[in-house]
Amino acid sequence: MGTTVFERQAPAPAVVDRSLSDTRSGVFWTEDLPDALRPDRPVLRGAVEADLVVVGGGYTGLWTALLATLRDPGRRVVVIEANRVGWAASGRNGGFCEASLTHGHENGARRWPDEIETLERLGRENLDEIERTVSELGLDVQFERTGQLAPAVEPHQLAWLDDWRAESASDPDVVFLDQEAVRGSVASPTYLGAIWEKGTCALVHPARLAAELARAAEERGARIFERSRVSGLDTTATGVTVHTAEGSVTAAHAVLATNVFPSLLRRNRLMTVPVYDYVLMTEPLSAQQWEEVGWRDRQGIGDMANQFHYYRPTQDGRILFGGYDAIYHYGRRVDPRYEHRPDVWAKLASHFFTTFPQLEGLRFSHQWAGAIDSSTQFTAFYGTARAGRVAYAAGFTGLGVGSTRFAGNVMLDLLDGSETERTALQMVRARPLPFPPEPAAAIGINATRWSMDRADHNEGKRNLLLKTLDALGLGFDS
């Protein structure tokens, strides 16, 4: 097996150690949130009646609540959150708000070839509508429609760029950059070429997005209860009741937006697995350091490896750097103990200074981790239960910042009984295969991760396991 650029050009261990010596374990985005955007909301106590009850105060639940109030200003909407609004994946991600509803073109084209053009159009429309909503409702989420850069960092990835370039020859928003051009844009010695998709990605402040969606929904009449874990779900011929330790909400319909956490529906317990992703945030760069890096177009960046890195600038002059290792723990548990991985953060720091050696001496201010709700189709699945009174969406596999809004519209369509272009999609109507129970899940996922790492060390060549999983439409994506 060969070596990767991150092994061949690794910085000295002392550089990594120094960069992490004073790093705080905490989520930068939520710590950066102004007090005005995180009010102390009440615990649910007593019996409450509503037209729609939403379980989960992350992006999926908040978009659903906001869209419900915009569709019908008289609809009584209640959101119940077990912790605080946006505390989990919605406040911890990289802030890449992408147009793709299918975790990229290749994944969507392989699974739904007959409707990929429709899915890509709907995804672009969804991103356009997010931008319009941010503007019209005055959501202070640091929205920047910068596009996304996909650099090749190994020679074999240049062929992938050529294929992408050929397939997108008629799209003016897809720009090919050769080595000189891409290094002139973002000064990394690892870059051999790149594709810049100019219109399909925006950057946001993740915690601000959750907070502002909550604020906008409340301003339109929605009620949000925090620190109120739902313990049960009952249905009758006329409605749905969700129960917490100190109260309940009875409504005509319910939306389940718990994503990575165990579903209230037994049928969905094996549909997702929690995979842990790790992130570093730098201290603010000086003006000279930014001059050395360039990056004046401020794109989000994700390299082309199976185990890929994602990184982006912030509005206060930092760089977020995450990805690569995506770790599954036996038993499907979401556990704060899994968030502490000094070995992973050290590896990320090493890869950061390989990418930007001119920034040696820069320190990381924050390190954190979070669980991604991964599905076997690498993107969200949808459905209804309890005679159509309950709708759900989950399994966003790391690309939920934008597609959760689409999911909110899908679930509202399903609950309303509306036949729309969204609900007619095969992607919406079909359920993916579940993950197997343990120990098969851990064996399969970790064997797949090992195979993906081997492919990155072998010119991208996929072994028999990966080829088989590709043929079956199964697998695991970092």
Interatomic CA distance for residues 388 and 49, integer angstroms: 19
**Mean model confidence pLDDT for the chain:** 94
pLDDT over threshold 50, residue 24 = yes
Residue 478 scores a pLDDT above 50: no
Residue 470: the pLDDT is: 67
pTM: predicted TM-score of the whole model, two decimal places = 0.95
Which pLDDT value is given to residue 473? 64
* Residues 292, 203: Cα–Cα separation, whole Å: 22
User: Which domains does the chain show, CATH number per domain?
Assistant: 5-31+148-198+273-374 (3.30.9.10), 40-132+206-271+377-429 (3.50.50.60)
Could you give the percent of the chain with pLDDT greater than 90? 88
Amino acid at position 350, single letter: S
Which pLDDT value is given to residue 237?
80
Lowest mean pLDDT among 139-143, 288-292, 360-364, 440-444: 440-444
Q: What pLDDT does 217 receive?
A: 98
Closest CA to 153 of 460, 477, 478: 460
Q: Could you read off the pLDDT of 443-467 as tens digits, one per residue?
A: 888 888 777 777 778 777 777 777 7
Alpha helices per DSSP H over 228-375 = 287-293, 342-355
Average pLDDT estimate for 239-262: 97
Instruction: Indicate if the pLDDT at residue 477 is higher than 50.
Output: no
Looking at this protein, which amino acid is placed at residue 452? M
Q: How does pLDDT run across 386-410, given as a tens digit for each residue?
A: 999 999 999 999 999 999 999 999 9
What tokens were used for 196?
């810049």
Q: How confident is the model at residue 266 (pLDDT cuts 50, 70, 90)?
A: very high
From the list 276, 135, 144, 132, the residue with the least C-alpha distance to 205 is 144
Mean pLDDT value across residues 66-88: 98
Phi, psi of 392 (to 5 degrees): -145, 155
Distance of CA 456 to the CA centre of its chain: 23
Say yes or no to pLDDT of 424 above 50: yes
